[in-house]
Amino acid sequence: MHALWSIITKNKKAYSNHPETLRWKGKLHALYLRHENIVSEMKKREYNHHSPLEPTLATGGSRQDTLITSIDEQKDALRKKGCNCKI
C-alpha cells in the first residue's frame, strides 16, 4: 500500500504501469481511506503503526470501483481452492 502511494504521489517510474498501480491513479482518497481502515484494524489487534500517509495528498475519488479480476472470477477461484468457504 505504501509503495502504491509513493509511486503515485512521487511520480516514480518503477511499477507505474502495473495494473494494481493504474487502478489507484486518480483515487488517492480511496487509497488513503483503505490505509486508515487497515491502521484501525492493526490497532484493534494491538499492532503498532508508524507510517502514516500525508492526508493532503489524498485527492481524487474516494471509492475504488475498478477491479482487475471480476467478482465472479474471484468467487470461481475460491471455489476451486476447495476451502469450504461461504461464497
Q: How confident is the model at residue 21 (pLDDT cuts 50, 70, 90)?
A: very high
Q: Is 76 a member of any domain?
A: yes
Q: What's the pLDDT score for residue 85?
A: 78
Q: Is 9 a member of any domain?
A: yes
Q: Is 86 a member of any domain?
A: no
Q: Is 87 a member of any domain?
A: no
Tally the domains of the chain: 1
DSSP structural state of residue 5: H
Which structural domain range is residue 46 located in?
Answer: 2-81
pLDDT in tens, 23-80: 999 999 999 999 999 999 999 999 999 999 999 999 999 999 999 999 999 999 989 9
Q: What's the pLDDT score for residue 51?
A: 97
Give CA torsion, residues 76, 79, 65, 51, to 10 deg. Answer: -140
CA distances 6 to 24, 42, 45, 82, Å, are 12, 21, 26, 37
Q: What's the pLDDT score for residue 53?
A: 98
Residue 39 neighbours by CB distance under 10 Å: 15
